Amino acid sequence: YNGLVLSVRGRWGTLLNGTANYTWAHCISDPATLAVGLAAFQYSQPDNRRADRGICPSHRNKVFNFTLLAGVPDVGEGILRVVAKDWRLAMTGRIQSGTWFSALAGTDRALSSTPNQRAVQVLEDPYASDKSADQWLNPQAFTLPALGTFSDLGVNTLLGPTNIQLDLAVTRQIPIGRRRVEVRAEV
């Protein structure tokens, strides 16, 4: 694993602060060393363990995280001040590259009784021309290996879609006597 993490943190006045970090990384491994979640892992080519060396299964090579916290300044007088007072906004987000995965043959084409055999890539560009959640890969880009042979396609050579996650929370603390009640909405 090789990686670089850049972070920044700031506070602007009493009402706004934020943090952000960006990770750029590259991870290569033998799947047997990362067999977490893989019951009784077996190499796809027992006589050629290097054939299963590739990008780590859970690897994300680019990840950007951020958090922004903001408050509403005291404004106005009377009823306007009562309504606008004590509001807080929190926004967090993550943008990360897709997961890496392999195109599997789905059957024992090598006649070796080993799982995880990969398909053969026959087109230079394996992705669909109009990528969508329903079709990310071009099915014509792959075929089954000839009987009795293994594919030369490496492990985790295909990249899934980018993942974007945003969370927003708006809160207000309302004083009731000596106590405070918090009203919260999250999306």
Give the mean model confidence (pLDDT) for residues 118-122.
Answer: 93
Find out whether 70 and 169 touch, Cβ atoms under 8 Å. no
2 or 77: which leads in pLDDT: 2
pLDDT(2) > 60: yes
> Residue 84 is inside which H or E element, if any?
helix 78-84
pLDDT at position 41 is: 56
pLDDT category of residue 174 using cuts at 50, 70 and 90 = confident
Q: Give the mean pLDDT of the chain.
A: 86
C-alpha distances (whole Å) from 45 to each of 59, 108, 116 are: 23, 11, 9
Q: For strand 62-71 and strand 16-26, is the pairing parallel, antiparallel, or unpaired? A: antiparallel
Strand-strand pairing, 163-176 and 87-96: antiparallel
Q: Quick one: tokens of 38?
A: 């893989």
Query: Residue 185, class by beta-carbon neighbours within 10 Å (0-12 exposed, 13-18 middle, 19+ buried)?
Result: exposed
| Percent of all residues in the chain with a pLDDT value above 70, rounded to a whole number | 93
- What percent of the chain lies above the pLDDT cut of 90? 43
User: Within 13 A of 1's CA, how many CA atoms are on the CB side?
Assistant: 13
Instruction: Give the number of other CB atoms < 10 A from CB of residue 105.
Output: 21
Residue pLDDT, tens place only, 144-160: 999 999 888 888 889 99
The pLDDT value recorded for residue 53 is 79
Mean pLDDT for the stretch of residues 76-89: 80
How far is 8 from 146, CA to CA, in rounded Å? 53
CA distance 46 to 117: 11
Q: Which residue has tokens 């990840």?
A: 63
Confidence band for 85, pLDDT divided at 50, 70 and 90: confident
> If pLDDT is split at 50, 70 and 90, which confidence band does 38 have?
very low
Pick from 53, 59, 58, 51: which is nearest to 37 by CA? Answer: 58
Question: What does the pLDDT average to over 133-140?
Answer: 92
The residue-averaged pLDDT of 55-84 equals 84
